[in-house]
Structure 1
Amino acid sequence: MPTDLDALVATYEDLHRHPELGRQEHRTSGIVAEQLRALGYDVTTGVGGTGVVGVLERGQGSTVLLRADMDALPVLEDTGLAYASTATATNAADETVPVMHACGHDIHTTCLLGAAAELAGDEGWQGRLLLVFQPDEEGGGGAQAMVDDGLFERFGTPDVVLGQHVAPVPVGVLGVRPGPAFAASDALRITLYGSGGHGSRPEATIDPIVMGAGLVQRLQTVVSREVAATDTVVVTVGSFHAGSAPNVIPDSAVLGLSVRTADERVRAKVLATIERMIRAEVVAAGATREPEIEALTSFPPVVNDEAACERVREAFGAAARWVVVDPGPVTGSEDVGILAEAAGSPCAYWLLGGADPALFAGATSVEQIRGLVADLPSNHSPRYAPLAGPTLESGVAALVTAARSWLS
């Protein structure tokens, strides 16, 4: 069945206009289930909360798991698109927040629906398709929730786990990297306790804002002074909440940290270093209450199987429609590796180009492309907007091509 690109674009724009936070993907999962059932898949909903699994069997052969994530982010969209999101939702802290598909999961979901249609209409393969539409990738818990809900006991163990992530590189480029491909992710919430009081008498207080500001600066030295220059590490302070009035020094400050590492030894050292720095700032400020250090999410790096990546790369090359590159280690993180690890199956997870190729006119090397990519809105930006039609067409073809290389 040829891909109906107009219908795919309509689905994508609808999903983009109606994003949902992790574990709240009820509308999205309903659309996914409805389309899969219409294509003849055996569909199960509510897996791991709001996850959807579609199965299509065609005799003896390999079981191929194709995965897409469905959740959005608490970001206020600023793309100016005609189908831009104006949605809001209630987050875990019972706050009303804007919601946007700022990471491209609407592209992932739509591409997998397109691949589902094309593979359902193709009688030239044998085996078993296991389509996994996963919730809550951004929260880091969606893959594990599906595993804990008996994903592989209920639907069988795949011979390979395949998937892709859209990125601000040109449409027509695919990035395939064997070995450690996406970084491990650790999200921390740090609560610093001081002693509040009047803004005119700071000497009578222990100021948690000053404590937190010092910590933010100190954390910048984790990468520059605590680990080797050859180690891949990113430490980001993504949130800092304290106080409610300019003339009141609060009792506490809360910081949100994102830590990305590629090596387990380095990961352990970085997390220990961060804890040491937190406790040192508390002592330096003279605070009498210990800080709280909470691990919000933690998941391992995506380690691509070398043989599986070579098989996918060869299939992409034979199709002669993409430029296939090794993007180097990606400091972004993904929990798709949890699915592969739990199944004991090889993983091949690649980058899908989603930017307008016209923006890269004249670039002739990976280095030049990287320079131009740095100037574009990235994933998680309020201005991130893949080039819908060409990206969907490329992404559907990539999933189908990779799946067919296992389906006899």
Structure 2
Amino acid sequence: MAREVLRPALELYLDVHAHPELSGAERRTADLFAARLEASGCTVTRKVGGGHGLVGVLRNGNGPTVMLRTELDALPVTERTGLAYASTVPGVMHACGHDLHLAAVTGAVDELDRTRSTWRGTVLVAGQPAEETLTGAREMLADALYERFGTPDAVLAQHTSPSPAGTLAHAADPGTPLMAASASVEVTLHGRGGHAGAPHLAVDPVLTAAATVLRLQSVVSRETAPAEHAVLTVGAMRAGGPANVIPDTADLSLCVRALSEPAVDRMVAAALRIVRAECAASGCPEDPDFTVTARSPALLTDGAATAAVRRAHEELFGPHRVVGTGPLTATEDFARFGAGGVPTVYWLLGVTGAGPWRRARDGGPPVPPNHAPEFAPDARTALPTGIAAMASAARRLLAPAGGTV
């Protein structure tokens, strides 16, 4: 890969990793991303979907329209990688690889701009905010993304994976979900505060919350078929202050994942039933507040477009570096860009360096997964692969110069 493409992409990656921004606050990240797209010949429109969403357009004659999507936001995680370019923002980290996705897309657009003689058509680039809260894609589409910039013939995205750096994984069966549907839920349990020395005069919402967390595990272990892919996680329990005070309320944040919308609906209904029952068992003075704050559909990739992109990747990297993968219970809102039958292609980009991979294989420390404080992609291998994978995928779905698709 040309140094002129790789170097600015790497500089962007290091900068964004060191300066992460949470969902809805991605102002600096969006500014850097827009500047790189403009340097590659794109016309950039800001505030698509409100906030910091943006769209770049690179036109090169008549032909298909292909959209490359990347995310802008980081996570509320404290970094423990020890990297020289580690996060400088306390409690915020690019623990899911969005910084690498973003840098790879800028490199791919730069490469496409430099090789205009090999393709025809239009490249759209969507810089999506708020992926971690599963709201950004919906907001961009609600702001007439396709009506304003054209409905793409295909939408492409890739995502970091703790598999060996330099490898790619496509859906083994594009007819089944690659990623799960999901729901995020916020719960408030109402107790009656009081003195820790007189618990009989209070209704302790902390005890109710603890019992609820344990009982919620039965939604998967006892109400879901063992062969069904399903996960229910309570990611946060917040309550109280001083040890000698029983608080009035306790809050839970939970997420549900399954491979179909009906399964998610069933699990959300079961969670609501359990929350209400535990509150009743504790004698809570009020019904709980139970709010679904976000939903995301299952990710189904398009069979024909995925096959075409996978062939391009196999030709570029060799079949030994391109594999198939089954359904995952991770989730994200990329699936929304397939609304109305728009073909989507999505693959996983391995980012684990050879050393950590060998040590884990030989019984050493496990490879840190996405969302872990130690998650540290091997950018030297993963970034060039990500750039080449995205550029080759886009070029395969655009029109060849002087020919037809």
Provide the TM-score with structure 1 as the length reference: 0.93
Deviation sequence 1:353-401 (CA, Å, 0-9, x none) = 01113333499xxxx7xx9899211111111110112111000011011
Residue aligning to 2:244 = 247
Residue aligning to 2:107 = 114
8 Å CA contact 2:108–2:391 kept in 1: the answer is yes
The answer on 1:227 being equivalent to 2:224 is: yes
Distance 1:26 1:170 in 2: 32
Question: Which of 67, 86, 100 is matched with 2:93 structurally?
Answer: 100
Distance 1:373 1:237 in 2: 29
Residue aligning to 1:147 = 141
Distance 1:209 1:176 in 2: 44
8 Å CA contact 1:231–1:266 kept in 2: the answer is no
Residue aligning to 1:326 = 324
Distance 2:385 2:213 in 1: 41
Distance 2:69 2:202 in 1: 52
8 Å CA contact 1:68–1:163 kept in 2: the answer is yes
Residue aligning to 1:2 = 2
Q: Which secondary structure state, in structure 2, belongs to the residue aligned with residue 267 of structure 1? A: helix
8 Å CA contact 1:63–1:129 kept in 2: the answer is yes
Letter in 1 for 2:286: R
Residue aligning to 2:152 = 158
Q: How does 1:142-221 map to 2 (within 5 A)?
A: 142-177=136-171, 178=174, 179-221=176-218
Question: Which of 51, 56, 59 is matched with 2:58 structurally?
Answer: 56
Letter in 2 for 1:60: N
Question: Which of 357, 380, 398 is matched with 1:389 structurally?
Answer: 380
Distance 1:362 1:69 in 2: 31
The answer on 1:80 being equivalent to 2:82 is: yes
Give the superposition deviation at 1:82: 0.7
Q: How does 1:306-385 map to 2 (within 5 A)?
A: 306-321=303-318, 323-342=321-340, 344-361=341-358, 375-385=366-376
Q: Which secondary structure state, in structure 2, belongs to the residue aligned with residue 182 of structure 1? A: coil
Letter in 1 for 2:204: D
Give the superposition deviation at 1:149: 1.2
Q: 1:305 to 1:242 in 2, by over 3 A?
A: same
Residue aligning to 2:402 = none
Task: Point out where structure 1 has 5 or more consecutive residues left out of the alignment.
Answer: 89-97
8 Å CA contact 2:183–2:264 kept in 1: the answer is no
For these two proteins, the number of residue pairs brought into alignment is 392
Q: 1:374 to 1:350 in 2, by over 3 A?
A: farther
Q: Percent identity?
A: 44
8 Å CA contact 1:169–1:373 kept in 2: the answer is no
Letter in 2 for 1:333: T
Q: 1:307 to 1:373 in 2, by over 3 A?
A: farther
Q: What root-mean-square deviation, in Å, do the aligned CA atoms of Structure 1 and Structure 2 show?
A: 1.8
The answer on 1:292 being equivalent to 2:292 is: no
8 Å CA contact 2:359–2:365 kept in 1: the answer is no
Letter in 2 for 1:23: G
Distance 2:208 2:359 in 1: 49
Letter in 2 for 1:149: D
Q: Which secondary structure state, in structure 2, belongs to the residue aligned with residue 211 of structure 1? A: helix
Q: Which secondary structure state, in structure 1, belongs to the residue aligned with residue 397 of structure 2? A: coil
Q: 1:401 to 1:256 in 2, by over 3 A?
A: same
Deviation sequence 1:177-210 (CA, Å, 0-9, x none) = 1231111121111100111111011111111000
